[in-house]
Amino acid sequence: MITQTQLTLPALGRGFHIVTDDIVKALPNLPDQGILHLFMKHTSAGLCINENADPTVLEDFETLFNHLVPENFPNLKHTIEGPDDMPAHVKSVLCGDSVSIPITDGRLNLGTWQGIYYCEFRNQRHSRKIIATIYS
DSSP state letter for 122: S
Query: What are the beta bridge partners of residue 115?
Result: 50
What distance in Å separates the CA atoms of residue 97 and residue 7, rounded to the nearest whole number? 14
The number of domains in the chain is: 1
pTM: 0.96
- Tens-digit pLDDT profile for residues 12-68: 999 999 999 999 999 989 999 999 999 999 999 999 999 999 999 999 999 999 999
pLDDT tier for residue 127 given thresholds of 50, 70 and 90? very high
136 SS3 class: coil
What distance in Å separates the CA atoms of residue 107 and residue 65, rounded to the nearest whole number? 31
- Could you tell me the CATH number of the domain that includes residue 93? 2.60.120.460
What distance in Å separates the CA atoms of residue 122 and residue 1, rounded to the nearest whole number? 36
Domain hosting residue 75, numbered range? 2-135
pLDDT at 28: 85
Count Cβ atoms within 10 A of the Cβ of residue 21 and give its class: 0-12 exposed, 13-18 middle, 19 or more buried. Answer: exposed
What distance in Å separates the CA atoms of residue 103 and residue 9, rounded to the nearest whole number? 21
